[in-house]
A = this chain, B = another copy of it.
Amino acid sequence: MALTIGVPRETEPGETRVALVPDVADRLLATVDDLDIRVEEGAGQGAYHTDADYDAAGCLVVGRDATFDADIIAKVAPPSDDEVDRLGEGQVLVGFLSPLERPETAQALADRGVTALAMELVPRISRAQKLDALSAMSSIGGYRAAIGAAERLPAFFPLLTTAAGTVRPARVLVLGAGVAGLQAIATAKRLGAKVFGYDIREPTREEVESLGASFVELEVDIEADQDESGYAEQVEKEKQERQPELLQPHLAEADVVISTALIPGQPAPLLINEEAVAAMDPGSVIVDLAAPNGGNCALTETGEEIVAHNVQILGPTNLPAEMPVHASELYAKTVAAMIEEGLEADAFAPDFDDEIFAESCLTRDGTVQNDRVRGLLGTAEEAKA
């Protein structure tokens, strides 16, 4: 019995990526017996892959309907309502599904009997690293945030000595030392900027410093009127609550701020208030990678590039789509790894007791599997009632 994978063209505005690239499709076809990969005409266009490239890799280039009539449908962006309606019982959907942001999509997929595997829910265990699409895309986001800032800053990143004189290097402050933040630090550092990193999680200091950046320590001034552990606790609480205020002097000195702080399932923390923006030098640049979650900066407009207090503030929502060749290549590798992980004698039969599939499975057997999403849906139900 042949296994079929469908790769539809992405329809989300601005989405340039494709879920499988010819090279990765080629490798899958070589590994899996009796596999058909159906790619929609033009699906690779945004990522500079032609239909001929897919054909040469052994894929079938087909119309849209045929891609949705496959055993596994591989996508990048969460399905539109129309795409959900095309799916049904026994089909598997693999892709970013924005489970916490679009719980109603999860419900619709469950209602239609679809087995939906969300790339966002892949557990961060070493065995699942090659399925970690989120980290790969965060790397791209961090890199592009630094490049975009360099493109917009009216000054050099590196210290530069010319015949006419020497210019000082740019000061780049990165807020949040996750995958995106660390890649932004590394890229700004490569370009020769003076880089500073901040994270509320003190243990990230080592990673920040290992990239050659200085770790920003917030200074709180509390009376030591209690025992040591109570004091440390109070300092931490104080730092957390007063972050925007305590960060302000550091922000004022930065030419570029790249903010990446997220709290899973919650709005992004406010780290940059309007006062801090106003204190920055004219022409400075803020790239707010937390924009899709409300932003770390009070003035960020999601999806927009604005100027406020003479500071350029970018609120990008999909930086990986700006680098579609490598974004698609890396994403396709994670999708292929997910599919291979679930293969059993050349059929797709994942073991849902396995941590990887237990966690990444969003819907199955007509129900939403993820507890947090079920919680969100429950709340929504109650609100309606």
Contact = CB atoms under 8 A, between A and B. Distances in A.
Interface centre among A130, A324, A326 (most CB of B within 10 A): A326
A148 interface: yes
Interface string A276-312: 0000011100000000000000000000000000100
B132 A163 contact: yes
Contact of A154 (B136, B160, B325): B325
Contact of A330 (B136, B167, B187): B167
Interface in A93-143: 129-133, 135-136, 139-140, 143
A30 interface: no
Nearest to A138: B162
A158 B139 CA distance: 12
Interface in A156-171: 156, 158, 160, 162-165, 167
A154 B139 CA distance: 14
A219 interface: no
A48 interface: yes
A280 to B, nearest CB: 11
A48 B164 contact: no
A181 to B, nearest CB: 15
B132 A48 contact: no
B190 A158 contact: yes
Contacts of A131: 164
A334 B154 contact: no
Contacts of A132: 163-164
A77 interface: no
B129 A163 contact: yes
Contacts of A162: 135-136, 139, 330
A139 B164 CA distance: 11
A151 interface: yes
A135 B155 CA distance: 17
A323 interface: yes
A133 B162 CA distance: 10
Interface string A306-347: 000010000000000011111001110110010000000000
A48 B147 contact: no
A235 interface: no
A192 interface: yes
Given A154-B47, A283-B325, A330-B165, A160 B139 contact: yes
A158 B144 CA distance: 12
Given A150-B147, A154-B48, A154-B324, A164 B136 contact: yes
A191 interface: yes
B192 A329 contact: no
A69 B334 CA distance: 68
20 contacts: A48-B154, A48-B281, A48-B282, A50-B282, A131-B164, A132-B163, A132-B164, A136-B165, A139-B160, A140-B156, A150-B150, A153-B323, A154-B322, A154-B324, A155-B323, A158-B187, A160-B326, A162-B330, A190-B192, A283-B325
Interface of A: 16, 47-48, 50, 129-133, 135-136, 139-140, 143, 147-148, 150-151, 153-156, 158, 160, 162-165, 167, 187, 190-192, 281-283, 310, 322-326, 329-331, 333-334, 337
Given A48-B283, A135-B164, 17 more contacts: A16-B154, A48-B154, A48-B281, A50-B282, A130-B164, A130-B165, A131-B164, A132-B163, A136-B162, A143-B160, A147-B150, A158-B190, A160-B326, A164-B337, A165-B329, A191-B191, A283-B325
